[in-house]
Amino acid sequence: MVERTPILDTLTYVFLMAGICIVGFPIFYAIVAATLPIEEVAKVPMPLVPGDQFLVNMRAAWEQGNLGRQLLNSFVMASGITIGKIVVSMLGAFSIVYFDYRFRKVAFAAVFCTLMLPVEVRILPTYEIAANIFGPVQWMIDTLHLNRLMAWWFGNDFEIALEWSLLDSYSGLILPLVASATCTFLFRQFFLTVPEELCEAAKLDGASAMMFFRKILLPLSVTNIAALVVIEFVYGWNQYLWPLLITTDPDMTTAVIGLQELIPQIDDVPLWNVALSGALIVMLPPILVVLFMQRWFVKGLVEREK
């Protein structure tokens, strides 16, 4: 520090501790509640000394909330989105930065503009397309009267009806979320800072584009990828609106959505200990990812938004 300010320094730590306590209190309180039997939780105010019912509550939450299956779904969805986003946007950025072709700028602009179309502003139409992914093709067939054309061509009745529903499926949970303007942008920015000499040298040595991508660009991008893995995993795990829309089968929904079932309603037995146990289980995986990959997380968060 610049000067000695003992009083202010003490105050700093006091405020910091207060801040940490305020930020941590909801979780602390939930942990305590998760260890208590129902009679204790229903007391107001609830005792702040942990009880011994932790495992019992955890098991109750696990069974009532169908958590085993739903945690698996959450995991598949979060990893699918993470991997999908990174692969799709890395290839896209490679194409945009290392090639020159006619639609390059258009493609980049089109990807970039998806920033302005979050799922929240196109709820129903996106649901419709997920219900039948061939909707646009079908529409084209219908408007061009291809059916009639075919019927005329082949001389008998002919109908094309395409349908493939993504509802209640992993592909439906994952696919619509794998396009990412921010990831593409991040990789583009990063590729632009990669020295030109590397590419020139690779070309002199006779490396093909994909060889350059695999042997040079990919290893260079490892820290960026790690950073994105943290951010996108958390993003995928915590998705709410999209899984709520396209899953109706309790076996296909995600853990965050499934928790809703555990919250005690007005007339129920107030099983808050079970509900909070469930909440703790479901929030743990992304928290662990963030804590263990903290360095990349901070880097990813700050750089992603540039």
Residues numbered 8 to 67 that lie near another protein (CB under 8 A) are 8-9, 12-13, 15-16, 19-20, 22-27, 29-30, 33, 41-42, 44-46
CA dist list (Å): 253 to 258, 262, 275: 7, 14, 17
CA angle in degrees (0–180, nearest 5) for 169-170-172? 70
Name which position in 78, 232, 282, 296 contacts another protein (CB under 8 A).
282
Which is nearer to another protein, 56 or 129 (by Cβ)?
129
How many residues belong to the site for another protein (CB under 8 A)?
A: 108
What are the structure tokens assigned to 305, written together?
């938004």
Burial of 26 (0-12, 13-18, 19+ CB in 10 A): exposed
The answer to whether 166 and 80 have CB atoms below 8 angstroms apart is no
The answer to whether 162 and 134 have CB atoms below 8 angstroms apart is yes
Separation of alpha carbons 297 and 295, rounded Å: 5
Q: Interaction with another protein in 217-236: which residues (CB under 8 A)?
A: 234
Q: How far is the CB of 185 from another protein (least distance, A)?
A: 12
Q: Interaction with another protein in 132-161: which residues (CB under 8 A)?
A: 133, 135-136
Query: What is the x/- site pattern for another protein, positions 80-99, by CB under 8 A?
Result: -------xxx-xx-xxxxxx
118 binds another protein (CB under 8 A): yes
Which is nearer to another protein, 158 or 238 (by Cβ)?
238
Which is nearer to another protein, 45 or 155 (by Cβ)?
45
Reference 244, options 267, 223, 260; nearest CA is: 260
Longest dimension (CA), the chain: 95
Name which position in 122, 145, 214, 215 contacts another protein (CB under 8 A).
122
Which listed range, 105-113, 141-149, 153-161, 219-227, lies at the site for another protein (CB under 8 A)? 105-113
Separation of alpha carbons 13 and 18, rounded Å: 8
Q: How far is the CB of 225 from another protein (least distance, A)?
A: 17
Query: What is the x/- site pattern for another protein, positions 248-277, by CB under 8 A?
Result: --------xx-xx--x--x---x-x--xx-
The answer to whether 202 and 216 have CB atoms below 8 angstroms apart is yes
Q: How far is the CB of 265 from another protein (least distance, A)?
A: 10
Which listed range, 117-125, 143-151, 152-160, 218-226, lies at the site for another protein (CB under 8 A)? 117-125
For residue 35, what is the DSSP state? T
Q: How far is the CB of 155 from another protein (least distance, A)?
A: 32
User: Contacts for 38-46 with beta carbons within 8 Å, 24 or more apart?
Assistant: 38/269, 38/270, 38/271, 38/273, 41/270, 41/271, 41/272, 41/273, 42/270, 42/272
Name which position in 39, 52, 157, 196 contacts another protein (CB under 8 A).
196
Separation of alpha carbons 178 and 291, rounded Å: 24
Separation of alpha carbons 183 and 225, rounded Å: 10
Q: How far is the CB of 4 from another protein (least distance, A)?
A: 11
Name which position in 210, 219, 267, 268 contacts another protein (CB under 8 A).
210
Q: How far is the CB of 79 from another protein (least distance, A)?
A: 15
